Amino acid sequence: LVVDGYRGEVITSPSKALRSRYREIIKEQEQLIAGLEGIKEEPCETLDGHRVQLWVNTGLMSDVMQSLDQGAEGIGLFRTEVPFLLSERFPSEQEQYAIYREQLEAFAPKKVTMRTLDIGGDKSLPYFPIEEANPFLGWRGIRVTLDHPEIFLAQVRAMIRANEGVGAFLRIMLPMVSSVSEVDEAKKLISKCYRELLEEGRKVDMPAVGVMIEVPSAVYQARDIIKRVDFLSVGSNDLIQYMLAVDRNNAQVAELYQEYHPAVLGALKQIVEAAHGENKPLGICGEMAGNPSAAILLTAMGYDVLSMNSTNLLMVKLAIRTFDLAKAKRILNKVLKMDDAKEIKLYVDGQMRKAGLGKIIRTN
Ligand code: PEP
Ligand code: MG
Residue 237 Cα: closest atom of ligand 1: 3
pLDDT for the residue 27:
79
Q: Quick: pLDDT tens for 153-200.
A: 999 999 999 999 999 999 999 999 999 999 999 999 999 999 999 999
Q: Tell me the C-alpha distance between 236 and 190, whole Å.
A: 25
Q: What is the mean pLDDT of residues 321-327?
A: 98
User: Which residue's CA is the closest to the ligand 1 atom numbered 4?
Assistant: 235
> From ligand 1's centre to the CA of 206, what distance in Å?
25
State the distance from the centre of ligand 2 to the C-alpha of 34, rounded, in angstroms.
30
Number of the ligand 1 atom closest to the C-alpha atom of 118: 9
Percent of the chain with pLDDT over 90: 85
The answer to whether 347 and 335 are in contact (CB under 8 A) is yes
> What pLDDT score does 15 carry?
77
Ligand 2 center to residue 216 CA distance, Å? 12
State in Å: Cα 253 to ligand 2 middle.
18
Q: Is the CB of 238 under 6 A from ligand 1?
A: yes
- pLDDT (tens digit per residue) in 247-302: 999 999 999 999 999 999 999 999 999 999 999 999 999 999 999 999 999 999 99
Enclosing H/E stretch for 112: strand 111-115
Q: In the predicted model, is pLDDT for residue 7 greater than 70?
A: no
> Is residue 10 very low, low, confident or very high in pLDDT (cuts 50, 70, 90)?
very low
Q: What is the pLDDT of residue 12?
A: 54
Q: What is the pLDDT of residues 39-56, one digit of tens each?
A: 999 999 999 999 999 999
Confidence of residue 28 (pLDDT cuts 50, 70, 90): confident
User: 34 pLDDT band (50/70/90 cuts)?
Assistant: confident
First-last CA distance in the chain: 21
- Return the beta strands (E) in 263-359 as ranges: 282-284, 305-308
More confident residue, 20 or 97: 97
Q: How far is the CA of 214 from the centre of ligand 1 (A)?
A: 8
Question: Which of 112, 111, 123, 113 is CA-nearest to residue 81?
Answer: 123
User: In this model, does residue 9 exceed pLDDT 90?
Assistant: no
Ligand in closest contact with the CA of 234: 1
CA of 287, closest atom in ligand 1: 3
Q: CB of 290 closer than 6 A to ligand 1? A: no
235 lines ligand 1 (CB under 6 A): yes
Alpha helix locations (H) across 112-165?
Answer: 142-147, 149-162
Q: What secondary structure letter does DSSP report for 90?
A: P
What does residue 276 show for φ and ψ, rounded to 5 degrees?
Answer: -70, -25
Contacts of 133 (CB under 8 A, 6+ apart): none
User: How many angstroms separate the alpha carbon of residue 237 from the centre of ligand 2?
Assistant: 6
Please, is 12 exposed, middle or buried when counting C-beta atoms within 10 Å of its C-beta (0-12, 13-18, 19+)? Answer: exposed
56 lines ligand 1 (CB under 6 A): no
Q: Give residue 13's pLDDT.
A: 64
> 10-11 and 2-3: which strand pairing?
antiparallel
